[in-house]
Amino acid sequence: MSYLLPTTILLPLLGGALLLLLFRNEPLRGSRLATIFASLTLIAAVVLASRFWNAPAIETGAVQPRLLWKTSEIPLTFLSQTPPVIRFQLGLDAPGIAMILLTSIVMVAILLVVPRQIESKTTEYAASLLFAESFLLGAFLSMDLVSFYIFFELTLLPVMVLMIGWGTDQSRPATRKFVLFTLAGSLPMMAGLAGMATLASPNAFDLTIAI
């Protein structure tokens, strides 16, 4: 069932892309399609949760992921002659179950109610929600520093779009502050993650460290 880990992340991402490409001028059908993809994501999350308790722990330690999925090592050859490598690794642990289920349930509820109250750009609104869901699930399922940081930062993009496109009259000043505060937090986070990777890895050129 490890293939369900990337599938759970890709489902809302695919749904959001289809909305923007095919249903931008059909808000009613777009909202229905968004709800369908959110519901499929919820089903995948429920299946993952049901399989979790029967799956053995793959790694020992403070974090014991199950249903692990990972890519092969990717060398960053443009950085040096002895390039560092990264790999994207997803896994499910006990806290992750609660977070992916909660995210999936809330997203279905939002898409059932809120788009009907949006007067303009309903499809874009629903697509932004699906993108946010996809990146949130990616952050919750990440089992390494690189993929967690990437998904965490990507989550901020659809949130900013929602603030600008469907916020109040004060949304633009609020968005500017949001960008400044997140940037002020993201840069130290990136430096901290790089430091952790350097100190924790037995191989100084392995930039992806399991959380």
The tens digit of pLDDT for each residue in 164-187 reads 877 667 777 777 787 788 877 778
Buried b (16+ CB within 10 A) or exposed e, 114-135: ebeebeeebbbbbbbbbbbbbb
- List all residues 6 or more positions away from 72 whose beta carbon is below 8 Å from its beta carbon: 87
pLDDT at 27 over 70: yes
The residue ranking higher by pLDDT, 146 or 106, is 106
Give the confidence band of 4 by pLDDT, cuts at 50, 70, 90. confident
The distance of Cα 145 from the centroid of its chain, to the nearest Å, equals 13
The tens digit of pLDDT for each residue in 103-123 reads 999 999 988 887 677 777 888
Task: Work out the end-to-end distance of the chain between its first and last CA atoms, rounded to an integer number of angstroms.
Answer: 21
CA distance 93 to 80: 35
Mean residue pLDDT across the chain? 79
Residues in the chain: 211
Q: Model's pTM, two decimal places?
A: 0.82
Helix (H, G, I), strand (E, B) or coil at 86: strand
Q: Cβ distance 25 to 36 under 8 Å?
A: no
Q: Cβ distance 35 to 160 under 8 Å?
A: no
The residue ranking higher by pLDDT, 137 or 25, is 137
